[in-house]
């Protein structure tokens, strides 16, 4: 077992997959000599050459579309969007083409490809380097969407994504990149896409979260245990599409109370789906309203640190919401 942070885990996953399978290639802006603006691809260009670790022009439509073409051809491209905020020029390719190539060809053409995107706020990135735009993709049939919150999950799920026969959107929360180190199993450990994990067991209420929110929810759970004697169960969804409904409902069945937390704005956010599933299929187990805690209804995280702090979900906001729900 090695102690890695999430950034290192991601880099290692790509390195090992490039090594293992010569159909794998990495492409994106500045992923080559510079090693990516966050360093996620550092060292790979020197090791695998400038075709397999390819600097593209500044054109996201191209990155996604060329990756799709390469996947049609039989490669396993791993494309990087420099920031999730810059994926929109590629939206047509992702939604019109990548998500539905298999369906429209009646199964004849699959697209085994990954699009990695650093997302999330709290890094002084303001409106265009902080977005949590996962809901555009979680609502898109034909995609899988993964958002890990630990180094081991990041590595194991990225490997799974690269080997998956279908397109996977891989969300990496920038604030978690170097937030902490944790043990990552040695060797070729591949985690299944589509399974949530119970990050902390509890009986009083369930907190559903992913990415950086896992970290915040665990801190909040500590506070709730210490100060309120409340045992919160923290469920890290890890895969947002498909949602691990069984684990979600199982947790609600145990606790009777559901708090769904994410950083993106609430209206139409991913949490709406989780809440709606619980409201419909977990209705009989509910001892209180399915509660959402999400970013405010503004277009994205504003810059000034005071404004950014106002925006961000943090452990204490989670504690407050959990207390209110527990008291219901």
Partner 1 sequence: MATTKAAATTRHRELGLSDDEVLAMYRAMLLARAVDERMWLMQRAGKIAFIISGQGHEGAQVGTSWAMRRGQDWMAPFYRSIAATMTFGMSAEDIITAHLAKGDDVSSGGRQMPGHYGGAPYNIVSVSSPVGTQVLHAVGIAMAAWVRGDDVVAITFYGEGTSNQGEIHEAMNFAGVHKLPVIFVCENNGYAISVPLAKQVGGLSVAARAVGYGMPGVTVDGSDVLACFGAAREAHARARAGEGPTLIEAKVVRLTSHSSDDDQRRYRDPSEVEGLKEHDPLPRFADQLRQLGILTDPIEERLRAEVKAEVNEASRRAEARPDPEPETAAGGVYAAETR
Ligand X SMILES: Cc1ncc(C[n+]2csc(CCOP(=O)(O)OP(=O)(O)O)c2C)c(N)n1
Active site (catalytic) residues: 129
Residue showing tokens 């005071």: 306
By a kind-dependent CB cut-off of 5 to 8 A, residue 59 interacts, out of partner 1, ligand X, a second copy, none, with partner 1
Site residue total, a second copy (CB under 8 A) = 48
Give, as ranges, the residues between 47 and 76 that touch a second copy (CB under 8 A): none
Residue 194 or 256: the one with the smaller Cβ distance to partner 1 is 194
Q: Applying CB under 8 A, does 41 fall inside the site for partner 1?
A: no
Closest CA to 94 of 272, 86, 74, 159: 86
Q: How far apart are CA 254 and CA 277, in angstroms?
A: 16
Figure out which of the listed residues 17, 97, 204, 263 binds partner 1, where binding follows CB under 8 A.
Answer: 97
Q: Which of 101, 147, 264, 321 binds partner 1 (CB under 8 A)?
A: 101
The Cβ of residue 178 has, within 10 Å, a number of other Cβ atoms equal to 13
Alpha-carbon distance of 304 to 144, in angstroms, equals 34
Which residues between 232 and 261 bind partner 1 (CB under 8 A)? 242
How many other CB atoms sit within 10 Å of the CB of residue 276? Answer: 11
Chain position whose Cβ is nearest to ligand X: 86
CB of 92 to ligand X, least distance (A): 7
Nearer CB in complex with partner 1: 17/97 = 97
Among 82, 99, 131, 251, binds ligand X (CB under 6 A): 82
Q: Could you say which of partner 1, ligand X, a second copy, none residue 316 binds, taking C-beta under 5 to 8 angstroms by partner kind?
A: none
The smaller minimum CB distance to ligand X, of residues 118 and 269, is found at 118
Angstrom distances, CA of residue 106 to CA of 109, 110, 158:
8, 10, 27
Please report whether residue 29 would count as binding ligand X according to CB under 6 A: yes
Residues numbered 273-302 forming contacts with a second copy, rule: CB under 8 A = 273, 275-276, 278-281, 283-284, 286, 288-292, 297-300
Q: Is 226 helix (H, G, I), strand (E, B) or coil?
A: helix
> Which pairs with CB-CB distance under 8 Å and at least 24 residues apart come from 87-90?
87/60, 87/115, 87/117, 87/133, 88/60, 89/59, 89/60, 89/61, 90/60, 90/61, 90/63, 90/64, 90/65, 90/115
Distance between CA atoms of 116 and 5, rounded to whole angstroms? 17
Closest distance of CB 134 from a second copy, Å: 10
Residue among 15, 61, 200, 317 that touches partner 1 (CB under 8 A): 61
């Amino acid at each position: 077992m090695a102690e890695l942070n999430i950034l290192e885990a991601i880099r290692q996953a790509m390195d090992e997959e490039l090594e293992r399978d010569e159909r794998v290639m990495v492409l994106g802006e500045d992923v080559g000599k510079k090693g990516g603006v966050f360093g996620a691809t550092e060292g790979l260009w020197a090791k695998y050459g400038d075709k397999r670790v390819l600097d593209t022009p500044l054109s996201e439509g191209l990155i996604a579309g060329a990756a799709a073409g390469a996947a049609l051809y039989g490669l396993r491209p791993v494309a990087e969007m420099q920031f999730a905020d810059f994926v929109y020029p590629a939206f047509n390719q992702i939604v019109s083409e990548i998500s539905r190539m298999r369906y429209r060809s009646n199964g004849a053409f699959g697209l085994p490809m990954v699009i990695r995107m650093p997302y999330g706020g709290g890094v002084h990135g303001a409106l265009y380097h902080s977005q949590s735009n996962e809901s555009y993709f979680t609502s898109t049939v034909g995609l899988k969407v993964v958002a890990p919150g630990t180094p081991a999950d990041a590595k194991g799920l990225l490997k799974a994504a690269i080997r998956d026969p279908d397109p996977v959107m891989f969300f990496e929360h920038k604030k978690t990149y170097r937030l902490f180190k944790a043990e990552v199993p040695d060797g070729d450990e591949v985690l299944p896409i589509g399974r949530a994990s119970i990050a902390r067991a509890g009986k009083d209420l369930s907190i559903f979260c992913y990415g950086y929110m896992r970290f915040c929810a665990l801190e909040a759970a500590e506070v709730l245990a210490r100060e309120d004697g409340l045992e919160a169960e923290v469920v890290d969804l890890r895969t947002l599409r498909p949602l691990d409904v069984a684990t979600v409902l199982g947790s609600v069945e145990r606790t009777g109370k559901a708090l769904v937390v994410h950083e993106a704005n609430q209206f139409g956010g991913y949490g709406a789906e989780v809440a709606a599933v619980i409201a419909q299929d977990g209705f009989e187990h509910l001892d209180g309203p399915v509660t959402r805690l999400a970013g405010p209804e503004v277009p994205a995280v504003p810059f000034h640190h005071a404004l950014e702090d106002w925006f961000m979900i943090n452990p204490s906001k989670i504690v407050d919401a959990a207390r209110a729900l527990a008291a219901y």
